[in-house]
Amino acid sequence: MLYSEKVMDHFMHPRNVGTIENADGVGEVGNAKCGDIMKIYLKIEDGIVADVKFETFGCGSAIASSSMATELIKGQPLSEVLKLTNKAVAEALDGLPAHKLHCSVLAEEAIQAAVKDYYDKNHIPYDEDTFRVPSHGEEA
């Protein structure tokens, strides 16, 4: 089967869909090749992700990736959130087909963008290296 049960589950029943009013951080990224867009909303309390929601206009793998990624970062301190890689998201989904790996990259990037937005809005200093360079369209 092309997709794992977990991918199908998170695609059919995505967790944390929606928006957060007055979110502390919002990150929006897109993939120029497929045209898919992902938006992540974060509520931060004491440096911890108190709530997270997403809106994804994209393929099933992008929806499953956002759903899994939001589950992975919920309740986590930002230091851990920033360590979340697309690989970890794909692994948590029991894998994605190679040509769908970029969908999980979108989740990593959107989360990073949302944390950056939070830091910027709150004038929290950070090292630019903290945020990995967006890797749009690097996939095969």
The three-class DSSP label of residue 20 is coil
List, in sequence order, every residue forming a beta bridge with 39; answer none if it has no partner.
28, 55
Closest CB to ligand FES among 78 and 114?
A: 114
φ, ψ (nearest 5 deg) of residue 133: -65, 130
14: Cβ contacts below 8 Å, ≥ 6 apart: 63, 64, 66, 67
Minimum distance between the CB of residue 122 and ligand FES, rounded to whole angstroms?
A: 30
Work out the number of other CB atoms within 10 angstroms of the CB of residue 120.
Answer: 11
Please state, in angstroms and rounded to a whole number, the distance separating the CA atoms of residues 36 and 34: 6
Q: Is 108 in the site for ligand FES (CB under 6 A)?
A: no
List, in sequence order, every residue forming a beta bridge with 54; answer none if it has no partner.
17, 40
Q: Which one of residues 40, 58, 64, 108 is an interface residue with ligand FES (CB under 6 A)?
A: 58
Q: Which one of residues 26, 59, 82, 93 is an interface residue with ligand FES (CB under 6 A)?
A: 59
Q: Is 34 part of the annotated catalytic residue set?
A: yes
Q: Which one of residues 8, 17, 34, 88 is an interface residue with ligand FES (CB under 6 A)?
A: 34
Q: Is 31 in the site for ligand FES (CB under 6 A)?
A: yes
Spot the catalytic one: 64, 89, 103, 111. 103
| Stretch in the footprint of ligand FES (CB under 6 A) among 15-23, 68-76, 101-109, 114-122 | 101-109
Q: In which residue are the tokens 């095969």 written?
A: 140
Please state, in angstroms and rounded to a whole number, the distance separating the CA atoms of residues 42 and 137: 25
Q: Is 106 in the site for ligand FES (CB under 6 A)?
A: yes
Spot the catalytic one: 17, 34, 37, 88. 34
Active site residues: 34, 103
